Amino acid sequence: MAATDGNILQTPILDAERSNLLQRISDQGGYAYVTVATLGAAGDFRAAEAAREMAWEQLHSGPWHSVLPVWRDAYSMACLHVAAFHLGAGDFREALRVLDMGLIMGGSLLRQDLDAAVEKIMTKSSVAKSQKGATKEGGKKELVLSCEGPNKAEVLQILPTKSLSCKIVEKRSSLSLEGFLCDYFLSGSPVIIRDCMGHWPARTNWKEMDYLRRVAGDRTVPVEVGKNYLCSEWKQELITFSEFLERIQSSECPFDVPTYLAQHPLFDQIQELRRDIFVPDYCFAGGGELRSLNAWFGPAGTVTPLHHDPHHNILAQAQEVKKSGETSYSLSYLPKNFKILVPAAA
């Protein structure tokens, strides 16, 4: 494969760990994978694709929790090999798709190599688009979610009896960390906190469709399709972020079958979006550590079924207010084992 120095992926961790990783794969019976992966690393595109397919099969050989971590790392390695070929051919979009699959499905060993490869390709893709004059003329387009929200009467009918009989959740503005700890965290009481997200770049950046498409449009993300995961028509898909934005903005977006990006570590995958938010200090109340940082992104009317989590939650929510057309921003503290019915962040 002919490639300029600028079209070569640098994979320092893979280079250092390759022999050890291939040995671990051999120890698990992956002799065929080792053979084709070695050929792929040496420049055989078909062999690189075959290695990726073999690792993919192993990832789907049983329940996810039973998949050996070494096969997740094997999948990451194969994705790096395949992406290198697409980069050399100038196919930035396909290279990004392959790398995103490695980030979503792969292991942690080669995570830094995958992130560095994504950053390099995003930079080269941005330069190529600007040279081609890809930026469309006209004013900035704002993200407007056009799907109608749920009917309140219908929601009340499906909620369990007496589920709304608890005390009203308090709303506080600019709540101090001490006040949060003493008045809510220690007693396990929920609270909605306002006026604490004004400094987030996301408040302005995420309203612009051009911005979201530029920093994340070609990235592949997992989405859920259907009212919720309890419905028979519910399914999961892998689509680009641009396709996702088009779906939730479509005037034909049906309330019964919304597309929803749910409980996905989006900010680990797309660093540009991570820089648009800040983890609230409330997350570290009581000396705890942040367990996970996930994103929920969908049209109005998307609802998470009634459930409770085994850990505390801080939900940062941006939601369009229909009457005024403005967007409200708030944090919600949801104690562990507190039963919640949560609409999607808009």
The confidence score (pLDDT) of residue 336 equals 82
Return the residue matching tokens 């079209």: 7
Residue 274: its pLDDT value, please? 95
Same-domain status, 171 and 124: no
Residues 6 or more apart whose Cβ sits within 8 Å of residue 330: 192, 193, 194, 196, 197, 316, 317
Instruction: State how far the Cα of 180 lies from the Cα of 337, in Å rounded to an integer.
Output: 18
149 located within any domain: no
Going from the C-alpha of 315 to that of each of 169, 280, 339, the distances in angstroms are: 14, 10, 14
Same domain, yes or no: 198 and 333? yes
Clarify whether residues 115 and 198 are in a common domain: no
| Alpha helices for 28-91 (secondary structure H) | 31-41, 45-59, 69-88
Does residue 299 contact residue 258 with C-beta atoms inside 8 Å?
yes
Same domain, 171 and 66: no
Let me know whether 192 and 107 are in one domain.
no
Q: Are residues 107 and 231 in the same domain?
A: no
Sequence-ordered strand ranges (E) for 136-219: 170-173, 191-194
Q: Which of 104, 129, 154 is the last residue of a domain?
A: 129
Domain containing residue 338: 166-343
pTM: 0.78
Domain closes at, from 106, 129, 152: 129
| Domain end marker among 129, 150, 184 | 129
Does some domain include residue 116?
yes
Residue pLDDT, tens place only, 139-159: 556 665 544 555 656 655 655
Asked if residue 241 belongs to a domain, the reply is yes
In a domain, 140, yes or no: no
CB neighbours of 247 closer than 8 A, spacing ≥ 6? Answer: 239, 253, 259
Q: Is residue 315 one of the residues assigned to a domain?
A: yes
Question: Is residue 1 included in any domain, yes or no?
Answer: no
Enumerate the H helices of 196-240 as residue ranges: 202-205, 209-216
CATH number reported for the structural domain that contains residue 307 in this entry: 2.60.120.650
Per the structure, how many domains does the chain have?
A: 2
pLDDT value, residue 18:
97
Given a cut of 50, the residues of the chain with pLDDT beneath it are 1-3, 134-137, 146-147, 343-346
Residues 123 and 170 in one domain: no
Residue 207 is predicted with a pLDDT of: 87
- Confirm whether 159 is domain-assigned: no
Residues 6+ apart with CB under 8 A from 4: none
The answer to whether position 74 is within a domain reads yes
In this prediction, residue 146 carries a pLDDT of 47
Residue 270 near residue 214, CB atoms below 8 Å: no
Residues 111 and 215 in one domain: no
Give yes or no: residues 200 and 321 share one domain.
yes
**Same domain for 182 and 82?**
no
pLDDT at residue 2, as a whole number = 40
209 and 118 in a common domain: no
Strands in 138-245 per DSSP E: 170-173, 191-194, 220-225, 235-240
The answer on 336 and 214 residing in a single domain is yes
Which pLDDT belongs to residue 346? 37
Residue closest to 167 by CA, chosen among 338, 343, 344: 338
At 125 the pLDDT is 87
